[in-house]
Amino acid sequence: MTATPGGTPTIVLVGHGMVGQRFLEALAERGLTATHRVVVLCEEPRPAYDRVQLTSYFSGRTPEELSMTDMAFIADHGIELYVGDPAETIDREARKVTARSGLVVDYDVLVLATGSYPFVPPVPNKDAEGCFVYRTIEDLLAIEAYAKSRATTGAVVGGGLLGLEAAGALKGLGLTSHIVEFAPRLMPVQVDDGGGAALLRTIEDMGLSVHTGVGTQEIVVGEDGAVTGMKLSDGSELATDLVVFSAGVRPRDQLARESGLTVGERGGIAVDEQCRTVNDPHVFAIGECALAADGRVYGLVAPGYEQAITVAATIAADESEQLSFTGADLSTKLKLLGVDVASFGDAHGTTEDCLDVVYSDSRSGLYKKLVIGRDGTLLGGILVGDAEAYGTLRAFTGSVPPVSPESLVLPAGAGESVQLGPSALPDEAIVCSCHNVSKGTIRGAVTEHSCTTVPEVKKCTKAGTGCGSCVKVLGQLVTAELEASGVEVDKGLCGCFSQTREELYEIVLALRINTYQDLLDRYGRDSARGGDGCEVCKPTVGSIIASLAPTIGASGYVLDGEQASLQDSNDHFLANLQKNGSYSVVPRIPGGEITPEGLIVIGEIARDFGLYTKITGGQRIDMFGARVEQLPLIWTRLVDAGFESGHAYGKSLRTVKSCVGQTWCRYGVQDSVRMAIDLELRYRGLRSPHKLKSAVSGCARECAEAQSKDFGIIATSNGWNLYVGGNGGATPRHADLLAQDLTDTELVRLIDRFLMFYIRTADRLERTSTWLDRIPGGLDHVRDVVVEDSLGICEELESLMTDHVAHYADEWATTINDPEKLARFVSFVNAPDTPDPVVGFVPERDQIKPDLPLLSIGHRPLEGSAQR
């Protein structure tokens, strides 16, 4: 069949990877999708996804979460996307492309974005069962399946970027992992000998075996044709039953070759500065398949994006935007196996007459090198183990920094170290290399386009939407520009306190302040001292005092004395207020495990008090419809039967969900129920900036959905993997892998540290997901603090948690055993025996639902509403 447009010019894009998707966006930005028919022929069975973050699949990100394609964008712009239907032939004379399905598309402009393919050394048995490449999601799915079904040891051929990521993935799958690199060091393109040595030490400390300076001579196979080992060039043999080839890539230029387009001697479709092929003005090439005018094939996404934008501007023929691609920044910043690695500019010092400034600490795995010109110009650098300054240093490349280069490589606090902030950058400095966004453009987004937040600046400029390495610098620039514009950036908690929540936490902890009024009188703003506070700071400080109660000498019971006046509405009555003025009661059911007798007790209570019952998503039983004066009566029966508060009303631990684990499930590898119960009982009642949810899955099938929780645990054959920062709420976020293959003791210790560090540093009403994205350094910083103890506070964090566990008391039991506390549980203070008349119910599906009276017009209260 032939697709022919009715006079509308047609643009055909062959390939739909990251660069192809950016090209489509560039077309849309210039209005070309409205004036042209756009057809995309994609070879893979799925549209464009984030290949840079490909390895994150093994830490929990799904293929859907890796997707970079908004199908609404495709539909809104009328783009015809054919997935799993690659172009097979090009007729340049007739200007037609034929796809595998037989589809024939006429084109006016053809853009080739066919990318690259993995290079597999021509060694015997390279195609044997158990041999894989590491390029697509389908490759990863195949590796995962094979590793789980029949492999115990894996070897990666290649010690470059993808090779190290692949080795980390194999280790995460539970395999003993080896890396074989022909060059004398790891990452030979990005780092020098010093950087490679620092990287090698750190990676070997993680339990991976590294073999450098040797090549693969043969893949050894068994009688069944499957891999059993590798023969290396030094005569040694490596036992392995899974091999991943990650020895570089080659441009996918076969389609161009077959159509007669010029390709380079070492591959790549030859293009000019507009990325137009040198012998056909109707055909362009972008990304890893293109041999640029400077004679290079660029394997990074940022140059591909620049090429995509160049081609879109050329097609638009916009005289105000005459772009050309003459080369690109090859700077990279990566987190490989948990190690920061970055290189920028002339990292290897190829410039004539340049000097090196080097700092090396082999004990800490740190290596920093700056390449400096004779005139003081920063030419490039390499950072291993600490790449915190990467964003600023890269932006200074090509200029003379305002301080000595020696001071820039020293760690913070060492000697004459200087930590340059982004405000020192010139306006022309490129902050986001993925989208070529300068500091001046970011400043303009704030001053000219009224952007006041990082998300607004991202949307306005696209800065920070690529690899993400510039986001921290972006945030610092936005704050600095707002302050420079005269906009007061008040970081205080509220009008009562000029301090942040984190600062107030530190004050309360350090000075053992155990009342809100004392804190307000001593540290409140002048206008607030001696006052009553506000609805923002009162519950915030109340939560801080509750979380530190045993340590600072305060009561852990939230309704004691002054604490009662600080609580939100739900905490006032230790139950969730519902829409008709009634309350719900949620007893704790650790791990979702409950006896038949326990079920009977809950059923009898619900029956006797006429409550609506529902099993929640957190494996608890919720009872709705209790009047306030009924709460202590219900709690008494629950406490007598061994139940306690499930804290469904508090900013605290709600539940630890669980699958049945190895006890019952044939796939389970650990006892997830026992672990869930242990964790819920340990962290029950822990007050925090926001609610906390957790789950424990007994295997990688993830039936407990642990990766959507604030802290989630997944069993492995070697122990437990700990994930943090997940959220299944209004803004879903998959949790990130913090540590893996932990023992029970190691797991609990890291969770203790993580939770107390979150409580210590999070903002008011900030979920762990938002906190993890907001806190400087993100997951890497949190890992440094709670796993590596980089701040030296882990002993204190563990001590705070120990105090909490030792002093926990059930709030329901405390209440029902104190007549004074029971006195607050009435609908009307002056008529304690009178039930609230507005609380009514009607039947529905053999239970009850609220009977809500009609709202009256104007500002009068609801008919019959209680005046408390």
- The annotated binding site for siroheme is made up of 703
Q: Could you give the C-alpha distances from 110 to 39, 329, 532, in angstroms and in order?
A: 10, 26, 70
Say which residue the tokens 């997951």 belong to: 779
- Rounded distance between C-alpha atoms, residue 651 and residue 574, angstroms: 11
CB neighbours of residue 525 within 10 Å: 15
Taking every pair of C-alpha atoms in the chain, what is the biggest distance, in angstroms? 94
Q: What are phi and psi of 117, to 5 degrees?
A: -130, 150
- Rounded distance between C-alpha atoms, residue 626 and residue 612, angstroms: 9
Burial class (CB in 10 A: 0-12, 13-18, 19+), 831: exposed
Q: What is the token pair recorded at 579?
A: 């829409």
Question: Any alpha helices (H) in 684-777, and if so which ranges?
Answer: 744-761, 768-774
- Rounded distance between C-alpha atoms, residue 601 and residue 607, angstroms: 10
Show the CA angle centred on residue 848, arms to residues 846 and 813, nearest 5°.
115
The partner residues of 366 in beta bridges, in order of sequence, read 361
- Rounded distance between C-alpha atoms, residue 468 and residue 768, angstroms: 20
Q: What is the token pair recorded at 539?
A: 């519950």
Query: Contact 310/298 with Cβ under 8 angstroms?
Result: no
What one-letter code names the amino acid at 244? V
Classify 191 as helix, strand or coil: coil
Reported in sequence order, the residue ranges of 692-823 that DSSP labels E, i.e. its strands, are 692-697, 711-716, 719-724, 736-742
Q: What is the token pair recorded at 430?
A: 């490129």
Q: Is the dihedral of CA 470, 476, 479, 483 positive or negative?
A: negative
Say which residue the tokens 């030859």 belong to: 270
- The annotated binding site for [4Fe-4S] cluster is made up of 659, 665, 699, 703
Q: What are phi and psi of 624, to 5 degrees?
A: -105, 150
Q: What is the token pair recorded at 748?
A: 């609990």
- Rounded distance between C-alpha atoms, residue 493 and residue 139, angstroms: 49
- The annotated binding site is made up of 659, 665, 699, 703
* Terminal alpha carbon distance of the chain: 76
The partner residues of 133 in beta bridges, in order of sequence, read 245
- Rounded distance between C-alpha atoms, residue 826 and residue 586, angstroms: 20
Query: Contact 110/96 with Cβ under 8 angstroms?
Result: no
- Rounded distance between C-alpha atoms, residue 249 and residue 266, angstroms: 12
